[in-house]
């Protein structure tokens, strides 16, 4: 590792502008970091060093000409859910074998327009369905915080999910930042597990066009990086209206970076009582209380609030998200792209063989659940009822935000766990997102920032939820927490 890979995006941009180093040098350092770390972590599915070098060369030319963009020369990892033109895009699924799109997702195009550099595509839970990145067809991704003896990991921890490749790469300094997607917590929970920051913006803030769909009314793109300011920089480049996405909101992108401030004096911060879930480890509740004290000391007012329908959020999500997934994933049939298993039978036999071989166990489970809740006789009992409960959950937040400017909660109910834990009990695995799902159902902006280390020496995240399209307050409160926490711990793996 070189000192260049330990810079934040903000510091790297300062260095590039003052010519302390070039974009080519910064990119080369990160290409080397990918080569060094990936044999242990398995974060990357596809590495693109030649593309990265060409983009860095172009960035240096723009710096020389004084025409540099917001993220010029910054090396990023791209979650392999984003379509990237002529570069393998898999959604970490066997069924997309060989798929190289002839188009670029809107969000990644926005990043390239801002001058960012692509180091490669990183793995995830298959089709973003999971909280551990253990359903990645290309193998388990290892959390850099796993116990390390100097040569290898003595046990292997999950990096969270579904954006586990993104979180692992950023935490291991094998990318300065990464794109994630968040449907029920897939940016925030892996950020918590790996000691980095990640923000899910308001639904509609970033275009979904060119991002492989899981649950279309929930999926949202967002950045993952090592500081709140870095996330603000990335989000500013990623966001914006897109006429190709009917759910993209036509409103200007604020200058979040310019306005960013840790000043929370006079802000009212809500503490939802329903998030004190039975069985939550005492150290997580203690960190939550400590964070509230930090904000109070910084001049914020701490207010108790109630979100009474919170207890229904997880079951509601696991009706709605699989229902949408079963519809979205119907397009994978072996006809036009990806895997095709032709056993010489009928067209229906080919569909069955392709989907059976191409989809992993968890994806098949969710397709089956989703198809069931949408079927005749069950649609009203499950899907329609879940939509009504979702509306109630959103109403709870709306009422709370009449009293407060933001909400503070834990991000996850545990630190990172050993690979294989909860694999035999999907409900236990689903409960990893118990603190993140409610805000997702309401489409709200929310962010995880590192708050400290647990008794096991692993990172714990704190979760800030804001009003619709008020990413600024979410970023500001997150920055206040970040400064108070002063989190600067590194995985033992990084010191080796």
- Scored b (16 or more CB within 10 A) or e, 452-472 reads bbbeeebbbbbbbbbbbbbbb
Whole-angstrom distance, CA of residue 169 vs CA of residue 177: 8
Q: Write the CA distances from 364 to 126, 135, 187, 234, integer angstroms.
A: 10, 11, 23, 34
DSSP conformation letters of 422-439: TTT-HHHHHGGGTTTHHH
Q: What is the dihedral of CA 13, 462, 158, 38, to 10 degrees?
A: 10
Catalytic residue among 47, 79, 200, 467: 79
Which two three-digit tokens encode residue 369?
């659940």
79 among known catalytic residues: yes
Q: Is 7 left (phi over 0), alpha (psi -120 to 50) or beta?
A: beta
Which two three-digit tokens encode residue 404?
């407060």
DSSP assignment letter at 298:
T
Q: Contact, 310 vs 275, CB < 8 A?
A: yes
| Angle subtended at Cα 419 by Cα 414 and Cα 423, rounded to the nearest 5 degrees | 85
How are beta strands 44-47 and 459-466 bridged, if at all? Answer: unpaired
Residue with tokens 């649609």: 379
Whole-angstrom distance, CA of residue 425 vs CA of residue 82: 29
162 among known catalytic residues: yes
Q: Write the CA distances from 356 to 130, 340, 369, integer angstroms.
A: 19, 11, 16
Residue with tokens 């897109």: 242
How are beta strands 446-453 and 406-410 bridged, if at all? Answer: unpaired
Grouping H, G, I as helix, E, B as strand and the rest as coil, residue 269 is strand
E strand segments, 16-131? 44-47, 75-79, 117-122
E strand segments, 9-83? 44-47, 75-79
Which two three-digit tokens encode residue 149?
């003896």
Q: Contact, 117 vs 52, CB < 8 A?
A: yes
Catalytic residue among 186, 248, 414, 478: 186
How are beta strands 197-200 and 446-453 bridged, if at all? Answer: antiparallel
Whole-angstrom distance, CA of residue 42 vs CA of residue 120: 12
Catalytic residue among 92, 162, 166, 207: 162
Q: Contact, 46 vs 109, CB < 8 A?
A: no
Residues assigned a catalytic role: 79, 162, 186
């Amino acid at each position: 590792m070189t000192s260049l890979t330990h810079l934040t995006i903000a510091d790297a941009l300062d260095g590039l502008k003052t010519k302390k180093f070039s974009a080519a040098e910064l990119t080369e350092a990160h290409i080397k970091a990918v080569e060094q770390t990936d044999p242990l972590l398995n974060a990357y599915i596809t590495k693109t060093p030649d593309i990265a070098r060409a983009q860095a060369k172009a960035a240096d030319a723009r710096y020389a000409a004084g025409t540099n963009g917001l993220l010029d020369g910054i090396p990023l990892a791209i979650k392999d859910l984003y379509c990237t033109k002529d570069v393998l895009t898999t959604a970490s699924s066997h069924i997309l074998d060989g798929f190289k799109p002839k188009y670029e997702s809107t969000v990644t195009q926005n990043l390239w327009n801002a001058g960012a550099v692509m180091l490669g595509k990183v793995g995830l839970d298959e089709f973003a369905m999971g909280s551990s990145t253990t359903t990645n067809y290309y193998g388990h991704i290892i959390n850099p915080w796993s116990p390390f003896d100097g040569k290898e990991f003595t046990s292997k921890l999950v990096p969270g999910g579904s954006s586990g490749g993104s979180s692992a790469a950023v935490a291991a300094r094998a990318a300065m930042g990464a794109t994630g997607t968040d449907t029920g917590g897939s940016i925030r929970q892996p950020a918590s597990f790996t000691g980095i920051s990640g923000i899910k913006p308001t639904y509609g803030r970033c275009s979904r066009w060119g991002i492989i769909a899981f649950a279309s009314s929930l999926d949202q793109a967002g950045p993952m990086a090592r500081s709140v300011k870095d996330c603000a920089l990335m989000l500013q480049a990623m966001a914006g209206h897109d006429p190709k996405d009917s759910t993209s909101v036509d409103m200007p992108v604020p200058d979040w970076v310019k306005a960013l401030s840790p000043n929370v004096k006079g802000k009212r911060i809500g503490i939802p009582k329903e998030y004190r879930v039975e069985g939550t480890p005492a150290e997580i509740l203690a960190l939550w209380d400590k964070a509230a004290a930090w904000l109070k000391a910084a001049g914020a007012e701490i207010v108790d609030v109630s979100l009474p329908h919170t207890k229904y959020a997880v079951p509601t999500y696991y009706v709605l998200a699989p229902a949408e997934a079963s519809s979205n994933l119907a397009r994978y049939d072996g006809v036009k792209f990806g895997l095709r298993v032709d056993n010489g039978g009928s067209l229906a036999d080919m569909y069955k063989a392709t989907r059976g071989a191409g989809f992993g166990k968890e994806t098949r489970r969710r397709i089956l659940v989703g198809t069931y809740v949408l079927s005749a006789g069950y649609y009203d009992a499950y899907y329609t009822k879940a939509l009504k409960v979702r509306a109630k959950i959103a109403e709870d937040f709306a009422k709370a935000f009449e009293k407060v400017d933001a909400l503070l909660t834990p991000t996850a109910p545990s630190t990172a766990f050993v690979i294989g834990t909860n694999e035999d009990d999907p409900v236990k695995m689903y409960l990893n997102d118990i603190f993140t799902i409610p805000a997702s159902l309401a489409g709200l902006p929310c962010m995880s920032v590192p708050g400290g280390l647990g008794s096991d020496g692993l990172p714990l995240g704190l979760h800030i939820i804001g009003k619709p399209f008020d990413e600024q307050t979410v970023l500001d409160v997150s920055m206040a927490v970040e400064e108070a926490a002063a989190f600067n711990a590194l995985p033992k793996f990084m010191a080796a």
